Structure 1
Amino acid sequence: MSDLEIRAARPDELADVEGLLIGASTWLADRGIDQWQYPPHRDRITAALRRGEVFLALRDQRPIATIQVDEFADPEFWRASDQPDSAFYVHRMAVSRQAAGEEIGAILLEWAADRAAAAGKAYLRLDAWKDNSGLHRYYQATGFDLLRIVDLPHRRSGALFQRAVRPGAAPRTGAE
């Protein structure tokens, strides 16, 4: 998408990131899906912003999506046998309703996969809400395989997905 720019979010853009996450939460609630029905973890997002792990997709210099990509493999989900260091992990991806249906999420996931490959990783991974079958189908349609579902009583997430990345791929800015 030629008019889409993907770049690291700055710490002073916390409100933009939170706004995108709250918008996604509201949209999910309106559809009876209980995913993300809590305020965004401001402390975690702020720390990730400072580490350069939160990204914004912008159109006409306005944020339309966010994604966090890092090396954090949640130890409650990812086993030593998964070789956690072999992947980058996606967290907190949200697309504004104004950009819904434009495949922005798929573009962000492809961008994140290229970023993982450029860092020498073999996989892009994520955990999703266990009972959101629509989200599971979405991730499978974008090239992810469902590895397993980890059912922890204190966690609603736990559907573990991964996709292999192309070795040596260079991350794109989205502006090509």
Structure 2
Amino acid sequence: MRICSAQPQDLAKLLTFRQEAAAWLSRLGTDQWQRPYPADKLLATIEAGEVFMVRDGDATAATITLTPVAEEGLWTADELRDRSLFINKLTVARTHAGQNLGGRLLDWAGDRGYRAGAKWLRLDAWTTNTGLQAYYLRHDFRHIRTVQQGVAVNGGPRVSGWLAQRATGPTAHGFTDETAAPEPLSDIRG
């Protein structure tokens, strides 16, 4: 399997991919991702080079968004002094479930973060999705705290405030990496 940067023409595929994940999450009894994700916001992250796709032949097997920008109101100013990459929208196709693609993507993200000069790989998970939280803990993330106050970026109530992090480092993720080398975070963040 190979990992590559998403392109603007992948927008419809990624929106459908998220809808399929939301339907699966609903069947599991969680309300995570039940609101449609704005296409313009997804396109902006694709164009910023922050969205990556795992391809298995012509099939999209998984996707992850990595950004150097934290969602406002989650991390403290002291925490933000450490260079970090933030994970968003990690999704594995149900056709590829059970193959540890999510774990391998987390390893890839940690390796990419390390090469960019990040100390931490950070995320905010759905506050009520304890299964997802346990998943991240099994993949060496450490729970920092849960933020439930405030308003999310999209204007709705905060629902994704379970904060966790793990150190970045070189890893053997097993993907053929077709992405460009990451830009050093010192150049991105100034």
AA in 1 matched with 2:125: A
Counterpart in 2 of 1:5? 2
CA deviation map 1:88-125 (0-9, x unaligned)? 00011111100111111111111011010000000100
Counterpart in 2 of 1:141? 138
CA deviation map 1:114-169 (0-9, x unaligned)? 01000000010000001111001000011100000011262111000100012xx3
Bigger Cα displacement from structure 2, 15-24 vs 124-133? 15-24
Counterpart in 2 of 1:165? 168
AA in 2 matched with 1:29: S
Counterpart in 2 of 1:54? 51
AA in 2 matched with 1:51: A
Q: CA deviation at 1:83?
A: 2.4
CA distance in 2, matches of 1:84, 1:62: 39
- Evaluate the alpha carbon distance shift between residue 49 and residue 144 of structure 1 in structure 2; reply closer, same or farther with a 3 A threshold: same
Corresponding residue pairs, total: 171
Please tell me whether the aligned partners of residues 67 and 94 of structure 1 are also in contact (alpha carbons under 8 angstroms): yes
TM-score normalised by length of structure 2 = 0.85
Counterpart in 1 of 2:176? 175
CA deviation map 1:22-41 (0-9, x unaligned)? 11100011121101001122
Mind listing any 5+ residue stretches in structure 1 that lack a counterpart? none
Classify the secondary structure of the residue corresponding to 2:176. coil
Counterpart in 2 of 1:124? 121
Classify the secondary structure of the residue corresponding to 2:137. helix
CA distance in 2, matches of 1:11, 1:136: 31
TM-score normalised by length of structure 1 = 0.92
CA distance in 1, matches of 2:122, 2:74: 11
- Evaluate the alpha carbon distance shift between residue 10 and residue 112 of structure 1 in structure 2; reply closer, same or farther with a 3 A threshold: same
Q: CA deviation at 1:16?
A: 1.5
AA in 2 matched with 1:125: R
Mind listing any 5+ residue stretches in structure 2 that lack a counterpart? 151-156, 178-190
- Evaluate the alpha carbon distance shift between residue 59 and residue 18 of structure 1 in structure 2; reply closer, same or farther with a 3 A threshold: same
